[in-house]
């Protein structure tokens, strides 16, 4: 099954969060969601998939019980971060070696969101929100990786991206 990453800022505005949930609900019929389990955007996407009763999601967390998410193979939630994910994180983060160990885990798990648990299955696209519409904050790590590998990114901060995703996924059903 095809996959996409649903990620973004913990401070995503509520109307965008509501749409992320709707988008994920619809996409869960034909895509696996990959996300990071953080508050805000990640949680909104995950809620949308869970509303359908689908198990078409993968949650990559930096440690067990991150944001209340517990490691569970049956629920596709893992805190296992491969060495290859760390190597990719180092390659795309401008100051990786200056980060603390926990921050390095967060950056490496972004690699997994884009390439999957075995780092061999890139997502088809990314739907995200960043406060400036660019590759910023923690989400920026995944977006830099996506740019390098020519993976399409739809940043819902940008009006044209939002309109495109709304039409592609939900038609007139989306809020806003």
Query: What does the angle CA 120 – CA 118 – CA 61 come to, to the nearest 5 degrees?
Result: 125
pLDDT for position 169: 87
- Using the predicted structure, report yes or no on whether residue 170 has a pLDDT greater than 80: no
Compute the CA torsion angle 15, 17, 22, 28 (nearest 10 deg).
170
The dihedral region occupied by 119, where left means phi > 0, alpha psi between -120 and 50, and beta the remainder, is: left
The domains found in the chain, sorted by start residue, are 2-173 (3.40.50.450)
Q: What is the mean pLDDT of residues 98-108?
A: 97
Q: What is the mean pLDDT of residues 59-85?
A: 93
pLDDT for position 75: 80
- What does the pLDDT look like over 144-168, one tens digit per residue? 999 999 999 999 999 999 999 999 8
pLDDT for position 148: 98
- Band (176; pLDDT cuts 50, 70, 90): low
- Band (173; pLDDT cuts 50, 70, 90): low
The mean pLDDT value of the chain amounts to 94
- Using the predicted structure, report yes or no on whether residue 30 has a pLDDT greater than 70: yes
Decide: 8 and 23 in contact? Cβ < 8 Å.
no
How far is Cα 49 from Cα 56, in angstroms, rounded to an integer? 7
- Using the predicted structure, report yes or no on whether residue 171 has a pLDDT greater than 70: no
């Amino acid at each position: 099954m095809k996959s996409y990453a649903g990620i973004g800022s913990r401070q995503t505005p509520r109307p965008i969060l509501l749409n992320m949930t709707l988008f994920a609900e619809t996409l869960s019929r034909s895509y696996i969601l990959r996300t990071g389990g953080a508050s805000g955007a990640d949680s909104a996407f995950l809620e949308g998939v869970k509303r359908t009763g689908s198990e078409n999601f993968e949650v990559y967390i930096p440690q067990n019980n991150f944001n209340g998410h517990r490691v569970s193979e049956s629920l596709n939630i893992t805190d296992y971060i491969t060495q290859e994910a760390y190597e990719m994180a180092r390659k795309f983060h401008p100051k990786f070696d200056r980060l603390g160990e926990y921050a390095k885990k967060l950056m490496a798990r972004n690699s997994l969101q884009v390439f999957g648990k075995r780092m061999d299955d890139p997502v088809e696209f990314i739907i995200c929100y960043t406060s400036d519409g660019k590759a910023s904050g923690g989400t920026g790590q995944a977006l830099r990786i996506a740019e390098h590998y020519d993976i399409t990114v739809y940043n819902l901060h940008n009006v044209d991206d939002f309109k495109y995703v709304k039409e592609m996924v939900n038609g007139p059903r989306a809020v806003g």
